[in-house]
Amino acid sequence: METDRSLFFITVFLITVGVIFTLSLPVFTTLYLNYVPYHFFLRQFIAGMASILIIWTLSRLNPDKHLVWIGFFIFASSLFAMSIMHYLPDSLVTASGGAKRWIRLPGFSIAPVEFFKIGFVYFLAWSFARKLDEKKKSLKDELLLILPYIGVFIVVIYLIAILQNDLGQVIVLALTLALMAFFAGTSFKLFSLALFSSISLFILTIIFSEHRVLRVKTWWATVQNSVLALLPEGMANSLRVENVPEPYQISHSLNAIKHGGLFGKGVGGGIFKLGFLSEVHTDFVLAGISEELGALSIILLALATLTLIYRIFKIASRS
């Protein structure tokens, strides 16, 4: 067994970029929250170095001997953590948007759902390899085979979409389930049915959630002028949304990207991180990097990520 060195070094490169920018981007946040200057950098550095060590260690193991217990431990422990965290006291759990998503440990916090995604992929791969094959089956037989997985996924929906109010993670896991089942040997008919059901469920969860409807309206308000200009006036007026709050973070992230231009303002030279883009060190880190290193750097990072994905699929095809 030979380690894919290119895959390893690309991963190390991307982790390193993340560590560097936790030193540059959160300068305002550390002052505003009265943290020590290297609060975010030290945590990201420790996590990055630990991640590289874990990646390298796992690459040296025999997957046939060790991945079974590692994969199932991650799957079972993260599922258990998601099941109990809603009932843990506030001193042990960090709430985000009114939902408990992070478990506090000494010196750091973890989000069990991030580990569950890894365990979920392993569980599906392990189980599908034993239960599914390329033999032609009726839709009824396929549904009976896939039913236990749907049962597990309903539990996941309850734990993540309802208790944690995190629809995005459920969408990722639903697509993972559908695509892995399709590649494992289920028919295109079942895949189409699963895709239609997922889209329907997705639409329903938006319609019956006021804050999700508002997020859709906010997104539409940012693009409606350019889209509606192509439609007849009567139709455009019926689709126009008025009096929607400005998407503050999105607007400033786009302004930060524009301000950076092709070559950026230099590491540490960004201005939108100084209170204008409050989540620049988390969800909007790409905008901060673009302002300081320029659009060309974003193209480089995108190419590195695509190469990473390509090599992962290449390895999967051989396995």
Residues 173-181, mean pLDDT to the nearest whole number: 88
The DSSP line for 13-80 is HHHHHHHHHHHHTTHHHHHHTT--TTHHHHHHHHHHHHHHHHHHHHHHS-HHHHHHHHHHHHHHHHHH
CB 281 within 8 A of CB 40: yes
Write down the domain spans for the chain: 65-208
- The one-character DSSP state at 278 is T
As a whole number of angstroms, the distance between CA 252 and CA 147 comes to 45
- In angstroms, the Cα distances linking 72 to 77, 120, 181 are 8, 9, 19
As a whole number of angstroms, the distance between CA 244 and CA 222 comes to 10
pLDDT at 211 over 80: no
pLDDT at 230 over 90: no
Q: What is the pLDDT of residue 98?
A: 63
At CA 25, angle to CA 21 and CA 29, rounded to 5? 135
pLDDT at 152 over 70: yes
pLDDT digits (tens, 9 = 90+) for 217-228: 877 777 777 777
pLDDT at 279 over 90: no
Residues 6+ apart with CB under 8 A from 134: 185
Residues 6+ apart with CB under 8 A from 40: 22, 23, 26, 29, 30, 281
pLDDT at 244 over 70: yes
* Sheet with 93-96, side-by-side order of all strands: 93-96, 99-105, 108-110
pLDDT digits (tens, 9 = 90+) for 100-124: 788 888 877 888 999 999 999 999 9
Q: Predicted confidence band at 73 (pLDDT cuts at 50, 70, 90)?
A: very high
As a whole number of angstroms, the distance between CA 259 and CA 89 comes to 44
How much of the chain exceeds pLDDT 70, in percent?
98
pLDDT at 303 over 90: yes
pLDDT at 208 over 70: yes
Burial of 41 (0-12, 13-18, 19+ CB in 10 A): buried
- C-beta pairs of 163-169 under 8 Å, 24+ apart in sequence: 163/82, 163/86, 163/99, 163/100, 164/82, 164/86, 164/99, 164/100, 164/101, 164/113, 165/97, 165/98, 165/99, 166/99, 166/101, 166/113, 167/202, 167/205, 167/206, 167/209, 167/212, 169/113, 169/117
pLDDT at 95 over 90: no
pTM tops 0.75, yes or no: yes
Least confident segment among 31-45, 71-85, 215-229: 215-229
Q: Which two tokens stand for residue 90?
A: 């506030």
Backbone angles phi, psi at 156, to 5 degrees: -65, -40
CB 77 within 8 A of CB 124: no
